[in-house]
Amino acid sequence: MDLLRIEADKSNIEPGESRPVKVTCCSHKSCAVKNAPDLHLRVYEAKSMERVEPAMDPIKISVTASYNMFTITPPRGLNFGPVRSGAEKRTRQFEIRNDGVFGFDWCLLDLAALSNDPDINIQSMTQYGLTANRGHNADGSPISASGKSPRSPGSGRKKDKSPKANKNVLDVRARPPEKYVTNKVQIGPFTVEPASGTLEPEGEKSTAKITVTFEAVGDKDEDWKLGLWVDGIEPQYGNADLLKCGDFMALMYLLTGQSCIPGIDTNMQWVFEEQFVARNLEDAIATAGRVDIRCYCEDDRVFAYGPCLLGQKQTERLRVTNSRGWFGLDRLSFWGTLIIKFGIKTPLILTV
């Protein structure tokens, strides 16, 4: 059994003396072994070196080796949607839950800060998997599609199958530098806390609730990448959401939001969609071929009703559109007069 390493003093045991035997189990992959008779004890006579009979029955070995496992909810990221710039901060939560049998440490990392660190090379596990599973072993031999290195015909030489023999195999025990492990992470307009901790396999301490606060500033879309490191997880080559950050792995988690400043559409072709829009009134009359027209003059920034009969009321409809359709505008002042509140998506038709 490749899992076991036996340490024992093989010198003679005197009468009445006992001798400890240390058996260490270390697995580099998930496995389950139950009652395997793989540990044998042989006793020899000190002078003749003849084996003492009858031999002892094999010692049965049972072991279960597994990686740490976790679930993150929501699984891909948080989307805060549109938030009015300068308004009250908006908060949302996501959850990390320990689904394994062991407790583990975890922390959240600013991937932008990691990418600017010259000592840390960030690489997607999709790209890294091509190197690890389609390249060459440490001894230069090719790696087949199954991930195993074939031997040449007739070669009886055994190859070292330990993970250390392949330079591309990740050490699941690798940890982020201590300077990146903090209680709070500020990533762009997002504040994340708590940003590190320990999760037990059972009970209330098996789940961590993370609060993310979004402060909208300006008029732009925010898209930031957060990294989640969990101790002892399985390297998943080809997983696009899993990143190799130097020696350790981190799961990419997206934080998105829209910082918006409310406003109206100032395209005069839309505002005066039922009237003429021209550089000046003369151009509008020349185009229409008559003088009784309603026209917005761009040079003078004046709306002209044209000739009107004395005592007769003239009305025109203008269209005002909320250019940032996520918010209703509280009030609209048109030529110094407070008009009305209007909603989010339906344009406001003004009768003037």
Domain residue ranges in the chain: 4-65, 70-148+162-260, 268-351
The H-or-E segment that residue 123 falls in is strand 122-124
3-state secondary structure 232-246: CCCCCCCCCCEEEEC
Q: What is the mean pLDDT of residues 209-220?
A: 93
Name, in order, each residue with C-beta under 8 angstroms of 284's C-beta and a sequence gap of 6 or more: 276, 278, 293, 295, 297, 304
Q: What is the pLDDT of residue 146?
A: 35
What are residue 56's phi and psi, to 5 degrees?
-75, 150
Q: What is the mean pLDDT of residues 338-347?
A: 43
Q: What is the pLDDT of residue 241?
A: 84
Cα separation of 12 and 47, whole Å?
Answer: 10
Cα separation of 128 and 167, whole Å?
Answer: 12
Q: What is the CA radius of gyration of the chain?
A: 36
Q: What is the pLDDT of residue 44?
A: 84
**CA angle 149-154-160, nearest 5°?**
35
Range among 220-229, 254-263, 316-325 rated most confident: 220-229
Report residue 249 as tokens: 């792995």
CATH 2.60.40.10 fits 70-148+162-260, yes or no: yes
Whether 143 has a pLDDT exceeding 70, the answer reads: no
**Could you tell me the pLDDT band of residue 183, with boundaries at 50, 70 and 90?**
very high
**pTM (2 decimals)?**
0.65
Residue pLDDT, tens place only, 239-268: 778 888 888 889 999 999 998 887 777 788
Q: What is the pLDDT of residue 268?
A: 84
Cα separation of 287 and 283, whole Å?
Answer: 6
Whether 184 has a pLDDT exceeding 90, the answer reads: yes
Look at 79-93, 227-241, 268-282, 337-351 and tell me which has the smallest mean pLDDT.
337-351
Cα separation of 210 and 229, whole Å?
Answer: 14
Residue 23, strand partner residues: 6
Whether 64 has a pLDDT exceeding 50, the answer reads: yes
The pLDDT mean for the chain works out to 78
Percent of the chain with pLDDT over 70: 78
The H-or-E segment that residue 133 falls in is helix 125-134
Q: What is the pLDDT of residue 328?
A: 54
